[in-house]
């Protein structure tokens, strides 16, 4: 923590998923997310690209965590081979939980606000001139349904029986054909790629997005579908 301009008052474990995340509070009462990145999950270049994009979104009025530069001036520090970054901690309540019924009164109004916020995120991303060093995974046709998708050959999961595997392969092939038929019509660009309900925060009429670990290039409907299904 000494590598960042923070006087730490408390540090509490908040989550253990792709990264280990601590909620840090400084002497002034400001809250931050300290992320210890899982070794081998994302390269330094990918994490730097994620943080540069988030900084651009935040600067242009999208409610996302703001990366905090270290004393050295960068967004990432290498601590004995472990990559570490710090972001502002956003207040708000999650839109919901994966696989649980939505517990919101005004669904139509809430999803209108969500759609507007997501559209703004996508529009700003299209206007942004990315640095040449920018690198993120592609959730394109091959990244979703090709022989080596981003998250690996999911149809080879050892927990699947043969009949389940056949169903998943058939669904994969059907999705691939549908994407190939519609690819020219679909909006494609930078996406969050993990807009599950826990990653959408509500505070009054504000919609906020957190957890950009899986962000990359993809079909914009991917973001919409994720929120509706999960």
Instruction: Give tens-digit pLDDT for 153-200.
Output: 999 999 999 999 999 999 999 999 999 999 999 999 999 999 999 999
| Spans of all domains in the chain | 8-88, 93-229
Rounded-to-integer distance, Cα 70 and Cα 80, Å:
16
3-state SS assignment for residue 19: strand
CB 95 within 8 A of CB 103: no
Please compute, for residue 71, the number of CA atoms within 13 A of its CA located in the half-sphere on the CB side: 7
In this predicted structure, the answer to whether residue 230 has a pLDDT above a threshold of 70 is no
Q: Beta 216-219 vs 138-139: how paired, if at all?
A: parallel
Please give the structure tokens belonging to residue 193. 């790629």
* Cβ neighbours for 173, distance < 8 A, ≥ 6 positions apart: 145
Instruction: Give tens-digit pLDDT for 86-145.
Output: 999 999 999 888 777 777 888 889 999 999 999 999 999 999 999 999 999 999 999 999
For the residues 210-222, what does the mean pLDDT come to? 96
More confident residue, 129 or 17: 129
pLDDT bin (cut points 50, 70, 90) of residue 228 is confident
Q: What is the CATH number of domain 93-229?
A: 3.90.1200.10
- Looking at domain 8-88, its CATH class is alpha beta
List beta partners, residue 191.
Answer: 216
Of residues 17, 24, 18, 124, the one with CA closest to residue 68: 24
């Amino acid at each position: 923590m000494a590598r960042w301009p923070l006087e730490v008052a408390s540090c509490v474990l908040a989550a253990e998923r792709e990264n280990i995340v601590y909620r840090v509070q400084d002497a002034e009462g400001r809250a931050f997310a300290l992320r210890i990145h899982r070794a081998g999950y994302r390269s330094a270049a990918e994490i730097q690209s994620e943080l540069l994009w988030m900084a651009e979104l935040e600067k242009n009025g999208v409610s996302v965590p703001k990366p905090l530069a270290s004393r050295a001036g960068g967004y990432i520090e290498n601590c004995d081979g472990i990559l570490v970054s710090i972001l502002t901690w956003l207040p708000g309540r999650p839109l919901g939980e994966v696989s649980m019924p939505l517990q919101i009164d005004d669904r139509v109004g809430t999803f209108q606000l969500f759609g507007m916020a997501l559209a703004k995120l996508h529009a700003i991303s299209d206007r942004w001139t990315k640095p040449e060093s920018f690198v993120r995974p592609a959730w394109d046709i091959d990244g979703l349904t090709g022989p080596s998708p981003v998250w690996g050959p999911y149809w080879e999961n050892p927990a699947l029986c043969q009949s389940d595997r056949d169903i998943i392969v058939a669904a994969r092939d059907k999705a691939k054909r549908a994407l190939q038929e519609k690819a020219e019509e679909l909006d494609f660009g930078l996406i969050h790629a993990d807009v599950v309900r826990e990653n959408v925060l509500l505070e009054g009429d504000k919609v906020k997005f957190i957890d950009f670990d899986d962000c990359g290039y993809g079909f914009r409907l991917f973001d919409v579908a994720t929120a509706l299904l999960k």
